[in-house]
Amino acid sequence: MESAETPKSFLKPLTKIMKTETKKSKFLPTISEDKSTRSSTSNMSKLSTPAPKVHVKPMLRPRSKSASELQLIQQKPLTTRRIAALKLGQKRPALQEIDKGNKPKVPKVKIPDWDYKSRFQELQKEHTATLEENKLFKTQVSQLEEEIESLRNAKQYDPEKIEFLQKSEKNLQDSFMVVSNEKNSLIKEFANQKKEYQNLTDSYDNCQEKYNILLETEKNLKEKNRNLLDENSTLKAKLSNQESKFWLHTSFNTLEELTKECLQKISNTEKIPQEPALCNTLLENWCKDLENITLKLKRDLDKQDDPRRSLRNTIQDVTGNIRVFCRIRPPITSEENERQLCAMSFPNETSLEIRKARKSVNVLSGKLINLKQKFTFDKVFPPDVTQAEVFEELGQLVQSALDGYHVCVFAYGQPGSGKTYTMQGSSNDCGIIPRTIDLIFQKIDKLSTLDWNYSVTASFLELYNENIRDLLLPNSTHNYEVRYNEGHGITVTNLQIIPITSAEELKLLMEEAQKNRTVAATNSNEHSSRSHAITKIHLEGYNETSKVKYSGSIHLVDLAGSESARTTNAERLNETKNINTSLSALGNVMLALYNKHPHIPYRNSKLTFLLQSCLGGNSKTLMFVNVSPFEECFGESINSLRFASKIKEIKTVAKKNKTYAFQCYH
């Protein structure tokens, strides 16, 4: 009988589960305590055993109600929300509570005992209802099983999770402690830093104050230096005045003595013996006396000469062995109306203020700007200064070369800024090189009266695309290499060194060399020099009386114009690159001298290698920075002026190349 067995097999595991799960979880629904369920269970056990008398009537009603209750619950799906609610301990509604108060009141129909048919039908109905009820129970039980399973899972997961969370909490607490300790130490450190910052700010303010005082002192010292330089020039003028007076005084004394002697001799004329032989002897003695007097005078002058020379060179050492002169060229007639000029002013003879004529717009602020920039040099020559005025300042350097120093004069600037004009000059107004040649020979002439004998040699070369050319042998195929020879300094292999005896001879050679120089038209100059031209005049002096020997030289350098590669036309690009490379090497040498670097990179280019002996160290250098007056050259002009300003700061102390052939001054 399947209908009688089904509730039994179904109820057994259900009761078992309900017993265990009730113990396990307080969240479980109270189904095990459900009276109706209990009654139905007992009902079913009753149904499974055949009984002659079955009193099902009082039990049938609640059973059918319990089934409908369960149906109602069954209709509600077991959602995660419900599971969550169960987990939170919310009581699941008890089955008997659902329709509390709504129980339909079925009227009781009494079946007489003898009506077996009706009673059987009633029992059948009851059985069908029980089957129905079983089905519902089964479904609910599977749901409850699911529920229990999920709760069991939740139970299994929770302790681990809680343990994990507890551990995490512990870790977090530890980290929190570490962080709060760190925070405390950071707060302390911050307070210390703040104090330190305050101290630093205070000392910065002090330094700033001191710096301002130093600036003021520097300004005053510069002013004093300028005044001293002026005083120095006045003293120099006085010195040369005194020198001439000394000469005059000496000559006057000698003449006075001679006159006295002559007068004495004239008054003694009667005593002059009549015999020619005796007369000759007397005259010879007179001549000897005169010669002795002259010798004595020369020695006196020589004694004065050496301190005078060293005094002159000391004055130059004090004013700096690298000096920078700035020269602004005027616009030539053809340029006057075509090219806009920069605004320049010359507050004094050592400074220049320059700005653009037109205001320009600052890209960042959008404001119109036109700041004037001020530069200070050893001398500034405005456009109207003549070649003669420029050369006046060079006389001392020529004297230094004759006194055994290496002297270098070079002109630096962009193409068309007036370098060649300054160095060579024009046919009707000659520049530094021809004037130097004239002065050298004038001085040699003067010095010969003091027994100085000078030998002069000259060489002319150009450095074009890093290759050396002899400007007196332009078509030569010789290989010209720069060498350093101990005792001779820097030399160039195969270069012609011409002995010179007169200024005219040297000037002719200079003109020839100038003709052979590589020139080309550039954007800035129609006859632009595309090479560095170096004229070297070597001077060897020897004093017969003192046996002193001096060996000096003058390098006169007309540099190729520095030009930005952007503004150069394509065919001249390689030339421009080489020019710029050697000029930047020159800049680096000057910078290394400026920074007193232990290694001066003379060998980085042929130009600096060639000029090694006259840049820094044992030399006196004069740099001309030539500046174009035009607005379109403003950027390049500022670059040149900045470069020259740096060079102005370099201070070196030169040594003269003096040797004694014999012991002098007996």
Binding-site sequence positions for ATP = 413-420
Q: Which two tokens stand for residue 48?
A: 């499974």
Interface region with ligand ATP, contact rule CB under 6 A, candidates 140-148, 192-200, 205-213, 411-419: 411-419
Q: Does 535 bind ligand ATP (CB under 6 A)?
A: no
Interface region with ligand ATP, contact rule CB under 6 A, candidates 183-191, 198-206, 413-421, 473-481: 413-421
Helix axis angle, 57-75 relative to 35-48, nearest 10°?
Answer: 120
- Give the C-alpha separation, 530 to 524, whole Å: 12
Q: Does 525 bind ligand ATP (CB under 6 A)?
A: yes
Sequence-ordered list of residues with C-beta below 8 angstroms from that of 305, at least 6 positions apart, any chain:
450
Interacting residue with ligand ATP among 7, 561, 616, 629 (CB under 6 A): 561
Q: How far is the CB of 570 from ligand ATP (least distance, A)?
A: 18
Q: Does 421 bind ligand ATP (CB under 6 A)?
A: yes
- Give the C-alpha separation, 439 to 395, whole Å: 8
CA distances from 137 to 97, 329, 381 (A): 17, 118, 120
- Give the C-alpha separation, 257 to 205, whole Å: 73
- Give the C-alpha separation, 462 to 513, whole Å: 9
Interface region with ligand ATP, contact rule CB under 6 A, candidates 120-128, 238-246, 416-424, 472-480: 416-424
- Given a contact cutoff of 8 angstroms between Cβ atoms, the answer to whether 419 and 529 are in contact is yes
458 strand-pairing partners: 498, 537
Identify the three-state secondary structure at position 329: coil
Q: How far is the CB of 660 from ligand ATP (least distance, A)?
A: 43
- Measured in whole angstroms, the distance separating CA 662 from the mean position of its chain's CA atoms is 56
- Give the C-alpha separation, 56 to 323, whole Å: 135
Q: How far is the CB of 333 from ligand ATP (least distance, A)?
A: 10
Q: How far is the CB of 591 from ligand ATP (least distance, A)?
A: 22
- Give the C-alpha separation, 636 to 623, whole Å: 17
Q: Does 415 bind ligand ATP (CB under 6 A)?
A: yes
Name the residue with tokens 């003067």: 446
Q: Does 332 bind ligand ATP (CB under 6 A)?
A: yes
What is the bridge-based pairing of β-strands 322-328 and 379-381? parallel
How many residues contact ligand ATP, by CB under 6 A?
Answer: 19
Q: How far is the CB of 390 from ligand ATP (least distance, A)?
A: 8
Under rule CB under 6 A, which residues in 360-379 are in contact with ligand ATP? none
Q: Does 63 bind ligand ATP (CB under 6 A)?
A: no
Identify the three-state secondary structure at position 6: helix
Interacting residue with ligand ATP among 7, 29, 404, 418 (CB under 6 A): 418
Q: How far is the CB of 343 from ligand ATP (least distance, A)?
A: 19
Q: Does 587 bind ligand ATP (CB under 6 A)?
A: no
> 318 vs 332, which CB is nearer to ligand ATP?
332
Name the residue with tokens 């001066």: 600
> 469 vs 538, which CB is nearer to ligand ATP?
469
Q: How far is the CB of 213 from ligand ATP (least distance, A)?
A: 42
Q: How far is the CB of 427 from ligand ATP (least distance, A)?
A: 10
Q: Which two tokens stand for residue 481?
A: 């290499």
Interacting residue with ligand ATP among 140, 399, 528, 608 (CB under 6 A): 528
> 430 vs 560, which CB is nearer to ligand ATP?
560
Q: Does 330 bind ligand ATP (CB under 6 A)?
A: yes
423: nearest Cα among 634, 640, 630, 622: 622
Interface region with ligand ATP, contact rule CB under 6 A, candidates 277-285, 352-360, 419-427, 464-472: 419-427
Residues annotated within the binding site are 413-420
What is the bridge-based pairing of β-strands 406-412 and 548-558? parallel
Interacting residue with ligand ATP among 413, 541, 616, 629 (CB under 6 A): 413
- Given a contact cutoff of 8 angstroms between Cβ atoms, the answer to whether 556 and 611 are in contact is no
Name the residue with tokens 């074009």: 464
Interface region with ligand ATP, contact rule CB under 6 A, candidates 197-205, 292-300, 412-420, 479-487: 412-420
Identify the three-state secondary structure at position 215: helix
> How many other C-beta atoms are found inside a 10 Å radius of the C-beta of residue 8?
14
Kindly state the DSSP code that residue 225 receives in the 8-state scheme. Answer: H
- Give the C-alpha separation, 91 to 77, whole Å: 17
Q: Does 431 bind ligand ATP (CB under 6 A)?
A: no
Q: Does 417 bind ligand ATP (CB under 6 A)?
A: yes
Q: Does 96 bind ligand ATP (CB under 6 A)?
A: no
Q: How far is the CB of 411 from ligand ATP (least distance, A)?
A: 7
Kindly state the DSSP code that residue 562 receives in the 8-state scheme. Answer: P
Q: Does 637 bind ligand ATP (CB under 6 A)?
A: no
Name the residue with tokens 């004094």: 348
Q: How far is the CB of 638 from ligand ATP (least distance, A)?
A: 17
Interface region with ligand ATP, contact rule CB under 6 A, candidates 149-157, 188-196, 415-423, 650-658: 415-423
> 71 vs 523, which CB is nearer to ligand ATP?
523
Q: How far is the CB of 626 from ligand ATP (least distance, A)?
A: 6
Kindly state the DSSP code that residue 425 receives in the 8-state scheme. Answer: B
Give the helix/strand (H/E) hosting 414.
none
DSSP for 500-526 reads E-SHHHHHHHHHHHHHTS-EE--SS-T
Q: Does 626 bind ligand ATP (CB under 6 A)?
A: yes
- Give the C-alpha separation, 488 to 492, whole Å: 11
> 156 vs 426, which CB is nearer to ligand ATP?
426
Interacting residue with ligand ATP among 36, 37, 420, 621 (CB under 6 A): 420
Identify the three-state secondary structure at position 104: coil
> 552 vs 629, which CB is nearer to ligand ATP?
629
Q: Does 40 bind ligand ATP (CB under 6 A)?
A: no
**Residue numbers of the site for ligand ATP (CB under 6 A)?**
329-330, 332, 413, 415-421, 426, 522, 525, 528-529, 560-561, 626
